[in-house]
């Protein structure tokens, strides 16, 4: 098992006017139903947990905008996986702040 920190971004193309935050909120609620640490940022959502759980969450999140009517969805994920010591959301931030 491998614990990772990852950033996921789900972007719907709705073919209609209006913002995307309704979709993002629904994606966010879906991500929070998994066994993961979840941190919302202005540019995506950061996840911490087992890699396979992260990928299941990605798969589920990607379907949300389609279920809300979008016809095209661009989903991306960036995974940071380190196996010599464990990465966490708080540990990564702390490690940088200590050196600033």
Quote the least distance from Cβ 49 to its own copies, whole Å. Answer: 13
For its own copies, which is the closer residue by CB, 35 or 83?
Answer: 83
- Find the length of the chain: 100
CA-nearest of 57, 49, 56, 53 to 80 is 49
| Residue with token string 């911490």 | 48
Contact residues: its own copies, CB under 8 A:
5-7, 11, 13, 15-22, 24-26, 28-29, 39-44, 46, 48, 51-52, 55, 58-59, 62, 66, 71-84, 89, 92-93, 95-100
Does an H or E element contain 47, and which? Answer: strand 44-50
């Amino acid at each position: 098992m491998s614990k990772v920190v990852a950033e996921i971004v789900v972007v719907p193309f709705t073919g209609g006017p209006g913002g995307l935050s309704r979709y993002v909120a629904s994606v966010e609620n879906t991500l929070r139903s998994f066994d993961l640490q979840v941190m919302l940022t202005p540019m995506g959502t950061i996840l911490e947990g087992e890699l396979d759980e992260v990928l299941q969450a990605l798969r589920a999140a990607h379907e949300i905008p389609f279920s809300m009517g979008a016809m095209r969805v661009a989903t991306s994920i960036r995974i940071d996986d380190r196996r010599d010591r464990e990465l966490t959301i708080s540990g990564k931030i702390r490690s940088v702040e200590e050196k600033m």
